[in-house]
Structure 1
Amino acid sequence: MQAKISAALPTGVYVVTVRHGDRINGMTAAWVTQVSFKPPMAGVAVAPARYTHDLIQEAGRFCLNALPEGAADLARHFGFKSGRKVDKFKAVAYSSALRGSPVLEAACAYVECEVDGSCTTGDHTFFYGTVIDAGVLKEGTRPLVFRWEDFFGGK
């Protein structure tokens, strides 16, 4: 069923990053969306078991790093390991957004948000927030599109 939903509702692939004190982490997410023009707001769905979930709750902010076409390996890097056990940023180039969230050098764009609220959506928590920083890092770049089989189909 999940592969069918992915085919019917294509989305971009993002790495959601967060910094809280001296802890940083990132996770791959495809359930990301803009939720308002005025004020500019965005949101992301994160499973409660993920380390990033706890850090977003503690930090009160998150950053959405849009990945470009050809960055599936980077998406897998941030998607198939836990930040509780592995330093995902050890060999990854990044800078910091306005409030300190990691911005991946490989991203084509980023949006940093202050959390305004969250709600339970099935087996995920949907965090939504006001945009406090954003930028386009690579003009004219095509985004990486999530396809179930690219990540879970044996590739």
Structure 2
Amino acid sequence: MDQKAKKTALRGISYGLYIVGTKDDKGVVNGFTGNWLTQTSFEPPLVALAVKAGTRSQEQIAKAGVFSVNILETGKKDMATAFFKSVEPDGNKLAGYEFYTEETGCPIFNDALSFFECKVVDKIEKGDHFIYVGEVINAGVHREGDPMTLKETGFYYGG
């Protein structure tokens, strides 16, 4: 296989950027920047989320069986990059961004355009990621706006 062609072709897949909220079995919250997410069913409403195997967030989703997805607004590159590394809660803030919780106990960020919360209904372990299928059990909109995409940041995933 031509490795350069493979990289170019895979980087042609469009991605959004999201802050995925998690929690452990003691209720301690966490968040990470995710971009591999897609809706897989209308009824019931299901999404598929890929999470790198062996990470704190992946282990929390595996144990708690829930996660939140916060839709970032275009221009929020600083927020996305803040969650590239491990973060610890400081009151009602993660990486300096305020959050609150609802049904799942996972963080919902005030700065997000919108959010949804999921309970895990299935998982697939392949390669270096887990794919979690989550049923959307709660959702909300903070304000209207355009969602951020990976392309606008200059970051690449794939290849």
The question of a shared fold, defined as TM-score above 0.5 by the shorter chain, is answered with yes
Checking the alignment, whether the CA contact within 8 Å between 2:77 and 2:153 is kept in structure 1 is no
Amino acid aligned to 1:142? D
Are 2:151 and 1:147 aligned? Answer: yes
Greater shift in the superposed pair: 21-30 or 55-64: 21-30
Distance 2:141 2:33 in 1: 19
Deviation at 1:9, TM superposition (A): 1.2
Deviation at 1:102, TM superposition (A): 0.5
Equivalent residue for 1:17, pick from 15, 21, 35: 21
Question: Deviating runs (4+, > 6 A) in structure 1?
Answer: none
Name the counterpart of 1:113: 118
Distance 1:148 1:2 in 2: 18
Pair 1:134–1:117, CA change in 2 (3 A): same
Distance 1:4 1:148 in 2: 18
Pair 1:97–1:43, CA change in 2 (3 A): farther
Amino acid aligned to 2:14? P
Are 2:66 and 1:50 aligned? Answer: no
Checking the alignment, whether the CA contact within 8 Å between 1:76 and 1:151 is kept in structure 2 is no
Pair 1:2–1:137, CA change in 2 (3 A): farther
Checking the alignment, whether the CA contact within 8 Å between 1:3 and 1:148 is kept in structure 2 is no
Cα RMSD (Å): 2.0
Checking the alignment, whether the CA contact within 8 Å between 1:63 and 1:111 is kept in structure 2 is yes
Checking the alignment, whether the CA contact within 8 Å between 1:114 and 1:132 is kept in structure 2 is yes
- SS of equivalent to 1:82: coil
Identity among equivalent positions (%) equals 31
Amino acid aligned to 2:15? T
Distance 1:54 1:48 in 2: 8
Report how many residues are paired. Answer: 147
Are 2:32 and 1:27 aligned? Answer: yes
Deviation at 1:82, TM superposition (A): 2.0
Amino acid aligned to 2:10? I
Distance 1:32 1:138 in 2: 21
Task: Give the TM-score of the pair, scaled to structure 2.
Answer: 0.84
Q: Is there any run of 5+ residues in structure 1 with no aligned partner, and where?
A: none
Q: Is there any run of 5+ residues in structure 2 with no aligned partner, and where?
A: 1-5
Deviation at 1:119, TM superposition (A): 0.1
Checking the alignment, whether the CA contact within 8 Å between 1:3 and 1:149 is kept in structure 2 is no
